[in-house]
Structure 1
Amino acid sequence: MESAAALTSIQRLRVPPRMGPRSPRSNGFDSWRQDDGYGSPARSEFRQPSPNPGGDPNNNFVQLHSSKSAVELSAHESVAPVAIVTILFFLWGFASGLLSVVLNNRINSTIKSTDSALIGLHSAYYGGYFVGPVTFSGYIFRHYGFRITFIVGLVIYGVGCIVFWPCGVLQTYPGFIISNFISGLGVATIEVAANLFVAICGPPHYWEARLNLSQGAQAIGNVFAPILAEKVIFRKDEGTSNTEWLISVQWGYLGVAFFDFALALFFWYVPLPECTDAELTRVNRWRPASSALTEKRRKKFLGRHSLLLLGVWAQFCYTGAQEIISINGASLIQVFSPEYAHNANSFLWTAEGLLAFGRLAGGVGMFYVPARMLYLLFSAGCIATSCILLGLQHSPGSDNSVAIVALRMLLQFFESICFPTIFALSLRGLSGRNVKWGASWEVLGVCGGAVWPPVYEAIRNRSRPDDQAGIRMAWVLVIVLFVAGPGIQALFVNFIPSWRGRLDGLSKRELREGYEADGTIGGRLDETNDHVA
């Protein structure tokens, strides 16, 4: 009997302590915690998502130490994980510059040699944004977390690059369309998780600043890709045939594919912080005063997801205008500033450099100035610059040539902070589950890059063969997109008190501390109020 009692005592000592309950909104990758503490270095918190959520938290090879939630990291602690994910932003920018600026133009001149074919290649890439985010990409992200989504996106992008090889051998235009679409699908999958990860990883009042700084790396990749492709990687001399050039491109794409697979393997082993739905709700949910009148007005005008829906629309319009400018930048200079046409590529690379500088400067500025105010300033700059360009186009001549080139470059500087700021601002105030859904819908808005350039081309073609008249007529679409998208949202978040208070309560440290003290932000996270904010 004594030995049996001793054996029972030993077995009891080997039983692991009872795990705490899971959040009602965990979606399968909430952290399992010890009952006697939260967030302590001595107590493990397994937030690493795995293909079998709810299973043994120790089955993940790479999670060898305890980790904080992404939203609990300090500014210093968030530097390393944000820097790792910023690699993906650089890769995304490099891919966009490689596909949109160089390869699509060269492939088009080799295979079809028409503007419509070029826009088809471009739209195929951004068509991936229409399919992925609200289907499998969003599902993987919501159920398996950031790291697995990064891996899946990199693998898909690598497959798209490999598909380019047989297409280059056969020199088939439909094959290039398929390759571009698969590549865009992979990058869209990466973006679903990467944008949100950078935004939430660290102090919550710096969402917009962090995302602008990381997307500055994307803009830098967009600068270097066309320069390296034209001057070094895919250089085409006068004696180089199209077939020889395509062979060099095939090897370049194969190298990018292997780099993608290696990066996917790297993310499989690197430990990245995760966060639960309840933790996202705690730092991001904002509730106004509880009076019946205030709540009635909020539901009547704001609705539950009005800021998100307006953000998706603003993203849809802005991306369309951005891609119109990117595709037609060279033709604008060639038609209205012909004496500078031989240096058009240099001017466009300078414009991309200004965009990168604007994002980095804007990200630093958001540590000191509210993001909504800088957003208003830059969106107004986009509208004003576009309008002035339209006015100069109505009176073309040598006197306007320098101004058109300068304003064309300045326009991309004002575009710089729009995309990341729209993304971060539009997710403010949502509860955890809806933050992840909202991130998917925001990336869906990028499919405007596939929709609006064909519309621009159709408007322009109505005035053929007069190129100047066609461009002037089509340029009105750019102004309309800037006004209807970023312009309206920037006005709403700055001049409507309820919207402005909603953002400031979540982004200003002093207001946030006051709201947290009286329960306006967050509150108890139980089954009664862990709901859609």
Structure 2
Amino acid sequence: MANFSPTLEAGGASGASESNNGALAIITMLFFMWGLLTSLNDVLIPHLKAVYTLTYVQAMLVQFCFFGAYFIVSVPAGALIRRIGYQNGVVAGLTVAAAGCAMFYPASLGGYGLFLLAFFVLASGITILQVAANPYVTILGPASSASSRLTLTQAFNALGTTVAPALGGMLILSGAVLTIEDLALLPAAEQLAYKAKEAAAVQGPYLALGGALLALAVFFAVARLPRIAERSAAAGTEVSLMSHRHLVLGAIAIFLYVGGEVAIGSFLINFLGEGHIAGMTAAVAAPYVSYYWGGAMVGRFIGFAVMRRVSPGKALAFNAACSVALIVLAVVGSGSVAMWAILAVGLCNSIMFPTIFSMALHKLGPATGQGSGLLCMAIVGGAIVPFGQGWMADVMGVQMSFLLPAACYLFILYYGLKYAGMYADEKRAA
């Protein structure tokens, strides 16, 4: 199979910096929307766990299906984008994501299995967006500042993840959820009616989101964006992706980063509900999840400026080390110390994804497109790591289960230190 690398088409305004800045602003809207949709899972997991009386492992099937789509759909998404183009790929991704949102209406009537299918379809659309948008951002400027641009766009992704928990808490968790013991006291007919009512709480919010995604699809279909051309590798120059060690290790780092970040977010409401931590109800705890994702947003705006002067690898290693220290404090601590320690990990997460992504794609040339697909497949870590933490939570308790994300950040620390000098040549040349 031939390798392809995305490049801006030459000629006209498409190569101008003003045009590139406008395109970057438009693409940033996508990052906000998929951040919003991804973070809403953190609200739905405890909600569905209570409604369907699930174990932690069963509840983590939400993330398993959602992030499992990245692994299954990334390669077909790359092929689709090469065929129809980056802009049409964005439109296709938005349309599929809108269909996934619409499926939440019948899912609320049909049970947990249909919810899982809806999550998979929704994530499939987001995967197409990821495959198209991330490499798009990396080529809208110099390679040495690709991390900075991705960090900026990811800041707006974090804005979406910050808004979603508080919004979802108001719209989905506003009603009082019965405990398993209280629910068991009700007659069978009333139990079914109660579960149907609680499941139906997701209908309005997700139908509204589906409508917004369709509106964005129409907007992108008519927007004038710089044309992106796929440059095929010359015959005989193709190389295996596995020969790029920084890409392979970067894919592992993406797997572990997304897994750790998603696992922490998925368990925050339950963690804050622990009596020796904060003893909060799900509705009260939901806005605090916004602090976790909001920290990432603030950190990304800071990182956008700082990483123009500081080595991306060193910044990545520093943030990973801080994450490990904070998680260990949350595991061994209690009360407000443990609560704020785990929430502060969000600030450390801020630069990790865009930094790892751009470092992993560095100097891949014609293999950039395939490398991006591999990194998007690695997002499946968001399916596997939370599932593993769910098993640990069932066996060891919620608090001890956070040791798994801590182990993920240790590898990211190693990756940052190993490639701390990656952009030294470009900076000297500049």
Could you tell me the TM-score, scaled by structure 1's length?
0.70
Given that residues 151 and 355 in structure 2 are in contact (C-alpha distance below 8 angstroms), is that contact kept between their aligned partners in structure 1? yes
Q: For residue 320 of structure 1, what is the aligned residue in structure 2? A: 259
Q: For residue 491 of structure 1, what is the aligned residue in structure 2? A: 417
Aligned-residue offset at 1:151: 1.1
Given that residues 6 and 136 in structure 2 are in contact (C-alpha distance below 8 angstroms), is that contact kept between their aligned partners in structure 1? no
Q: For residue 413 of structure 1, what is the aligned residue in structure 2? A: 347
Aligned-residue offset at 1:245: 4.8
Aligned-residue offset at 1:118: 1.5
Name the CA distance, whole Å, in 1 between partners of 2:14 and 2:4.
16
Q: For residue 403 of structure 2, what is the aligned residue in structure 1? A: 476
2:378 is the alignment partner of 1:450: no
Given that residues 337 and 402 in structure 1 are in contact (C-alpha distance below 8 angstroms), is that contact kept between their aligned partners in structure 2? no
State which of 70, 73, 96 in structure 2 corresponds to 1:129: 70
Task: Report which of the two has the higher share of helix.
Answer: 2
Name the CA distance, whole Å, in 1 between partners of 2:154 and 2:299.
11
State which of 71, 75, 78 in structure 1 corresponds to 2:20: 78
Aligned-residue offset at 1:318: 1.1
Label 1:67 to 1:331 Cα distance change in 2 as closer, same or farther (>3 A): same
Aligned-residue offset at 1:279: 10
1:138 is aligned with what amino acid?
Answer: G
Given that residues 154 and 264 in structure 1 are in contact (C-alpha distance below 8 angstroms), is that contact kept between their aligned partners in structure 2? yes
Greater relative CO (CA pairs within 8 A, separation 6+): 2
Q: For residue 121 of structure 2, what is the aligned residue in structure 1? A: 182
2:175 is the alignment partner of 1:237: yes
Label 1:97 to 1:476 Cα distance change in 2 as closer, same or farther (>3 A): closer
The unaligned stretches of length 5 or more in structure 2 are: 178-192
2:222 is aligned with what amino acid?
Answer: Y
Name the CA distance, whole Å, in 1 between partners of 2:393 and 2:201.
34
2:79 is the alignment partner of 1:151: no
Secondary structure (helix, strand or coil) at the match of 1:271 reads coil
Label 1:27 to 1:161 Cα distance change in 2 as closer, same or farther (>3 A): same
Alignment of 1:370-519 (within 5 A): 370-390=311-331, 392-393=332-333, 400-432=334-366, 434-463=367-396, 467=397, 471-472=399-400, 474-484=401-411, 486-494=412-420, 500=421, 502-506=422-426, 508=427, 510-511=428-429, 513=430
Given that residues 276 and 335 in structure 2 are in contact (C-alpha distance below 8 angstroms), is that contact kept between their aligned partners in structure 1? yes
Alignment of 1:13-32 (within 5 A): none
Aligned-residue offset at 1:197: 1.2
Alignment of 1:34-113 (within 5 A): 39=10, 45=11, 66-69=12-15, 73-74=16-17, 76-98=18-40, 100-113=41-54
Q: For residue 269 of structure 2, what is the aligned residue in structure 1? A: 330
Name the CA distance, whole Å, in 1 between partners of 2:353 and 2:250.
10
Alignment of 1:270-309 (within 5 A): 270-278=223-231, 304-309=243-248
Q: For residue 15 of structure 1, what is the aligned residue in structure 2? A: none
Secondary structure (helix, strand or coil) at the match of 2:85 reads helix
Name the CA distance, whole Å, in 2 between partners of 1:217 and 1:504.
28
Given that residues 8 and 14 in structure 2 are in contact (C-alpha distance below 8 angstroms), is that contact kept between their aligned partners in structure 1? no
Secondary structure (helix, strand or coil) at the match of 2:141 reads coil
Given that residues 155 and 186 in structure 1 are in contact (C-alpha distance below 8 angstroms), is that contact kept between their aligned partners in structure 2? yes
Name the CA distance, whole Å, in 2 between partners of 1:236 and 1:410.
26
Aligned-residue offset at 1:407: 1.0
Aligned-residue offset at 1:329: 1.8
Q: For residue 345 of structure 1, what is the aligned residue in structure 2? A: 286
Given that residues 28 and 144 in structure 1 are in contact (C-alpha distance below 8 angstroms), is that contact kept between their aligned partners in structure 2? no
Label 1:26 to 1:280 Cα distance change in 2 as closer, same or farther (>3 A): closer
Label 1:68 to 1:246 Cα distance change in 2 as closer, same or farther (>3 A): same
Secondary structure (helix, strand or coil) at the match of 1:276 reads strand
Given that residues 386 and 479 in structure 1 are in contact (C-alpha distance below 8 angstroms), is that contact kept between their aligned partners in structure 2? yes
Aligned-residue offset at 1:347: 3.0
Label 1:235 to 1:108 Cα distance change in 2 as closer, same or farther (>3 A): closer
Secondary structure (helix, strand or coil) at the match of 2:274 reads helix
Label 1:247 to 1:272 Cα distance change in 2 as closer, same or farther (>3 A): same
Q: For residue 131 of structure 2, what is the aligned residue in structure 1? A: 192
Label 1:77 to 1:238 Cα distance change in 2 as closer, same or farther (>3 A): same
Given that residues 65 and 383 in structure 2 are in contact (C-alpha distance below 8 angstroms), is that contact kept between their aligned partners in structure 1? yes
Could you tell me the TM-score, scaled by structure 2's length?
0.86
The unaligned stretches of length 5 or more in structure 1 are: 1-23, 32-38, 40-44, 46-65, 282-298, 394-399, 495-499, 514-533
Secondary structure (helix, strand or coil) at the match of 2:228 reads coil
Given that residues 193 and 439 in structure 1 are in contact (C-alpha distance below 8 angstroms), is that contact kept between their aligned partners in structure 2? no
1:87 is aligned with what amino acid?
Answer: M
Name the CA distance, whole Å, in 2 between partners of 1:236 and 1:28.
46
How large is the Cα RMSD of the aligned pairs?
A: 2.9
Aligned-residue offset at 1:238: 4.4
2:78 is aligned with what amino acid?
Answer: G
Alignment of 1:202-281 (within 5 A): 202-231=141-170, 233-234=171-172, 236-238=174-176, 242-278=195-231
Secondary structure (helix, strand or coil) at the match of 2:308 reads coil
The structure number with the bigger radius of gyration is 1
Q: For residue 81 of structure 2, what is the aligned residue in structure 1? A: 141
Label 1:366 to 1:29 Cα distance change in 2 as closer, same or farther (>3 A): closer
Name the CA distance, whole Å, in 2 between partners of 1:25 and 1:445.
19
Q: For residue 115 of structure 1, what is the aligned residue in structure 2? A: 56
Secondary structure (helix, strand or coil) at the match of 2:419 reads helix
Name the CA distance, whole Å, in 1 between partners of 2:335 and 2:6.
59
Secondary structure (helix, strand or coil) at the match of 2:423 reads helix
1:503 is aligned with what amino acid?
Answer: Y
Label 1:244 to 1:490 Cα distance change in 2 as closer, same or farther (>3 A): same
2:105 is aligned with what amino acid?
Answer: W
Label 1:490 to 1:246 Cα distance change in 2 as closer, same or farther (>3 A): same
1:124 is aligned with what amino acid?
Answer: C
Aligned-residue offset at 1:29: 9.4
Given that residues 212 and 417 in structure 1 are in contact (C-alpha distance below 8 angstroms), is that contact kept between their aligned partners in structure 2? yes
Name the CA distance, whole Å, in 2 between partners of 1:28 and 1:93.
24
1:156 is aligned with what amino acid?
Answer: V
Given that residues 320 and 453 in structure 1 are in contact (C-alpha distance below 8 angstroms), is that contact kept between their aligned partners in structure 2? yes
Q: For residue 59 of structure 1, what is the aligned residue in structure 2? A: none
Secondary structure (helix, strand or coil) at the match of 2:82 reads helix
User: Aligned pairs, how many?
Assistant: 408
1:416 is aligned with what amino acid?
Answer: S
Identity of aligned residues (%): 23
Label 1:490 to 1:235 Cα distance change in 2 as closer, same or farther (>3 A): closer
Aligned-residue offset at 1:426: 0.7
Given that residues 60 and 387 in structure 2 are in contact (C-alpha distance below 8 angstroms), is that contact kept between their aligned partners in structure 1? yes
Aligned-residue offset at 1:213: 0.9
Given that residues 29 and 145 in structure 1 are in contact (C-alpha distance below 8 angstroms), is that contact kept between their aligned partners in structure 2? no
Aligned-residue offset at 1:482: 1.1
Q: Deviations over 1:239-273 (max 9, x none)?
A: 99554454453233222222222211211111211
